[in-house]
Amino acid sequence: MRLSRFPLTTLRETPADTEVVSHQLMVRAGMIRALASGLYTWMPLGLRVVRKVESAVREEMNRAGALELIMPAVQPAELWMESGRWEQYGPELLRLQDRHQREFCFGPTHEEVITDIARRELQSYRQLPVNYYQIQTKFRDEIRPRFGVMRAREFAMKDAYSFHMDADSLAETYEDMRLAYCRIFDRLGLEYRYVQADSGAIGGAVSHEFHVLADSGEDEIVYAENSDYAANVEQAPAPAPDISQHPAPTENLVHVDTPGQHSVEEVSAFLDVPLERVVKTLIVHAPDNSLVALILRGDHHLNAVKAARLEGVDAPLRFADAEEIKERLGCPVGSLGPVGLNIPCYVDAWAAVLSDFVCGGNTEGTHYTGVNWERNAALGTVCDLRNLEDGEPSPDGSGSVRSARGVEVGHIFQLGDKYSQAMDCTVLDPDGNKKTVIMGCYGIGITRIVAAAIEQNHDEHGIIWTDAMAPFRLLLCPIGFDRSDAVRDATEDLYRQCTESGIEVLLDDRGLRPGVMFAEADLIGIPHRIVISERGLDESQLEYQRRGSSEPEVLALDQFPDFLRDRLTSD
C-alpha cells in the first residue's frame, strides 16, 4: 500500500476529551473517528488491526472445534421475556419498536437467541457437545461510555455458546476455551492474566476473566506471588479475622462533639484515634428501596460487588443520596453510626471484631467513642465487604497477594441450565428421555483488545504494534522520494519484492520532510521500518529500525530478501 493512496489524517496535539493514552493515540493516528458518545468509525488503518485480532480469534476458535455462525443483531423481546432478562437488564439494553409496535432490542449479548436456535436444531444427545460462535457487533447503552473503544456503546465481540449433556462435558469445553484464549492472547503478543471472576448479570457459577495488564485498566486483579491463584478483586475473599482475638471492652461509651468532622480521616485526626478504630457507615438501598447500612473499618475499602451479592442489598449497588438519608434517618451521612440505628446493618468481619471503636453519633456533628458491639450496638449480619489488598494473605494459603490493574478482554462462564431451563432447551438422552442441556458461554472484546494492546505497548512518540496486530508489518521510508531517481528506483524495487513475498508493506511515497515522515511513522507504530537514502545507497546500504528500539541497524541492500524471509515472514 502506498501512503499517497491511503489518506492518513494524523494529529500532533492530544485531542480534547480523551483520558487514556490508547484513546489519544488511536485518534491521533487516525485509526478511529467518533460519531457520537460511544460510537466510533473504524478508519482503514484501524480496521486493519481489528481484522488481525479477528483472524487470530477465528483461527483459534476453529482450531478448538467451535463452529462459526452469525446471529441477527436485532432480537425480539419475546425471547428476553422468556429468560426473564427483559425486566432484569435495565437501561443498558437498547429497546426498539418496529413499525408494528413490536418490541425488539439491539443485542448486548446472545444467550437468548442461541438458546432458541439450539432448542430448534438440537434433538439428540448425539449432537452434543457443540460450541457455536460469532464475531459480531453488540450494543450496550453503557452508563458511562469512555476511553474510546475501550468502553464503547457499539463494539465488536466474539461470543461463543456451548451445549452439553452433563457437567463433565461442559468442564471439558470450558478448559478447551481457556486454552484457546491463552493461545489467542499469546499470539497477539499481549501480557495478560487469567483470573477467577464474578459472573454478574450473565449468570452461572464458575467464571474466569482474561485481563491485559495495564495501569489504566478499570479492573483490579490480585494474584498470589507463590501460586497460580489469581482473581478479580470483586471476587477475591478478604482474609477472615481471628474472632478469638476480639478484645474485651475497656472504655465507656461517650457521645462527643466533632463539629465539621465528617470523613473517617477527619474524625480519626480530630479525636486522635487510629483510622482502623473508626468505622464508616455507608447507606445503600435494599431491593425494595428501603435503606440498609454497610459498616467497615475506616482504613478498608468497600467492595461494591461483594456488597451487591448480599440478599438484603440491591444489585447493582445503589447508594442513598444525602437528602434521602437526612430525611429518612434524621442525620447527615458523615455523622451516622450503628448505635441505635434501626435499619438492617451488614458489618464487615474486620469491623465486627473491633472493640472500643469510634462511629458516628447519629446527630449532626457528633460521634461516639468507646463503642462495643452488643453492649452498645446490635451487631447485625457479619460478612466480607471489603477488598483484598496488596500484601495480604492469598486466599489459597500460599503466601501473599500482589495487586495489579487490568483491562478485561475476555470472560468465560459455566452457565449451567440458567437459559436452557427458562427456555426449555432439551434433547433426548440415550434412554429416550428429555433432558435439559447445560451451557457455557465465552466472550472476547475484539475492539477492546485493540485499545488494551496500545495501553500496554506505546512510548512518548506513539503506538508500538506487536507483529501480530500491526496494520502493516513493514514501512518503507525513502528520503527524497520526490527528487532522487536513485532513491525512487531502489524503493520501488524493494516495494515490489515485499509485495511479491506477500508482506504487508506500507510505502511512504509522499516525499515529506524526513522529520515529518518519521514522526508519523512513530505515531502509527508499524513494527519494522526501512529507511532508504541516497547516502546509504551510495554504499549499497539500507537502515533498519524496529519500532521501540533506539538503535538503527545497517542492512546491506543485497541482504534485503534474506531480511524479508528471516524477520518478516514468520508469525
* Binding positions for Mg ion, rule: CB under 5 A: 411
Give dist(CA 176, CA 173) in Å, integer: 5
Contact 284, 292 (CB under 8 A): yes
Could you give the strand order of the β-sheet that contains 357-360, starting from the edge strand earlier in sequence?
Answer: 254-257, 366-371, 357-360
Other CB atoms within a 10 A radius of the CB of residue 164 amount to 24
The verdict on 305 binding ligand ATP (CB under 6 A) reads: no
Q: What angle do CA 349, 355, 360 make, to 5 degrees?
A: 85
Cell numbers for 165: 449433556
Segment 92-121, which members bind ligand ATP (CB under 6 A)?
109
Backbone angles phi, psi at 8, to 5 degrees: -110, 130
The verdict on 208 binding ligand ATP (CB under 6 A) reads: no
Of positions 60, 112, 408, 508, contacts ligand ATP by CB under 6 A: 408
Of positions 203, 217, 410, 527, contacts ligand ATP by CB under 6 A: 410
Backbone angles phi, psi at 310, to 5 degrees: -70, 145
The verdict on 440 binding ligand ATP (CB under 6 A) reads: no
With CB under 6 A as the rule, give the number of residues binding ligand ATP.
Answer: 17
The verdict on 338 binding ligand ATP (CB under 6 A) reads: no
DSSP of 220-232 = EEEEESSSS-EEE
For residues 46 and 380, which CB has a smaller minimum distance to ligand ATP in the complex?
46
For residues 56 and 279, which CB has a smaller minimum distance to ligand ATP in the complex?
56
Contact 346, 310 (CB under 8 A): yes
CB under 8 Å to 99, separation ≥6 — which residues? none
Give dist(CA 463, CA 22) in Å, integer: 8
Give dist(CA 494, CA 477) in Å, integer: 11
The verdict on 312 binding ligand ATP (CB under 6 A) reads: no
Radius of gyration of the chain (CA): 29
Of positions 411, 418, 529, 547, contacts ligand ATP by CB under 6 A: 411
Alpha-carbon separation of residue 395 from 88, 229, 378, 399 (angstroms): 32, 8, 29, 9
Place of cell 478448559: 175
The verdict on 473 binding ligand ATP (CB under 6 A) reads: no
For residues 203 and 416, which CB has a smaller minimum distance to Mg ion in the complex?
203
Give dist(CA 525, CA 453) in Å, integer: 12
- Single out the segment in contact with ligand ATP by CB under 6 A; choices: 264-272, 331-339, 404-412, 479-487: 404-412
Binding mask 185-204 for ligand ATP (x = CB under 6 A): ---------------x-x--
For residues 218 and 543, which CB has a smaller minimum distance to ligand ATP in the complex?
218
For residues 386 and 411, which CB has a smaller minimum distance to Mg ion in the complex?
411
Give least dist CB 73 to Mg ion, A: 20
The verdict on 174 binding ligand ATP (CB under 6 A) reads: no
Give least dist CB 138 to Mg ion, A: 12
- Single out the segment in contact with ligand ATP by CB under 6 A; choices: 152-160, 177-185, 320-328, 367-375: 152-160
For residues 143 and 269, which CB has a smaller minimum distance to ligand ATP in the complex?
143
Helices and strands: H and E segment counts in the chain: 16, 30
Give least dist CB 208 to ligand ATP, A: 11
Of positions 140, 164, 208, 528, contacts ligand ATP by CB under 6 A: 140
Instruction: State the pairing for strand pair 505-507/474-478.
Output: parallel
What DSSP character marks residue 331? S
Of positions 409, 498, 505, 517, contacts ligand ATP by CB under 6 A: 409
Contact 399, 303 (CB under 8 A): no
For residues 110 and 411, which CB has a smaller minimum distance to Mg ion in the complex?
411
For residues 186 and 459, which CB has a smaller minimum distance to ligand ATP in the complex?
186
CB under 8 Å to 536, separation ≥6 — which residues? 542, 543
Q: Which helix (H) or strand (E) holds 63?
A: helix 44-63
Helix axes 167-187, 44-63, angle to 10 degrees: 140
The verdict on 133 binding ligand ATP (CB under 6 A) reads: no
For residues 409 and 506, which CB has a smaller minimum distance to ligand ATP in the complex?
409
By a kind-dependent CB cut-off of 5 to 8 A, residue 140 interacts, out of ligand ATP, Mg ion, none, with: ligand ATP
The verdict on 441 binding ligand ATP (CB under 6 A) reads: no
Of positions 52, 151, 208, 280, contacts ligand ATP by CB under 6 A: 151
By a kind-dependent CB cut-off of 5 to 8 A, residue 32 interacts, out of ligand ATP, Mg ion, none, with: none
By a kind-dependent CB cut-off of 5 to 8 A, residue 443 interacts, out of ligand ATP, Mg ion, none, with: ligand ATP
Give least dist CB 410 to ligand ATP, A: 5
For residues 455 and 508, which CB has a smaller minimum distance to ligand ATP in the complex?
455
CB under 8 Å to 244, separation ≥6 — which residues? none
Give dist(CA 284, CA 292) in Å, integer: 5
For residues 207 and 420, which CB has a smaller minimum distance to Mg ion in the complex?
207
Give dist(CA 33, CA 234) in Å, integer: 33
Give least dist CB 506 to ligand ATP, A: 27
Contact 265, 372 (CB under 8 A): no
Which positions lie near ligand ATP, rule CB under 6 A?
109, 140, 142, 151-152, 155, 157, 200, 202, 408-411, 443, 445, 447-448
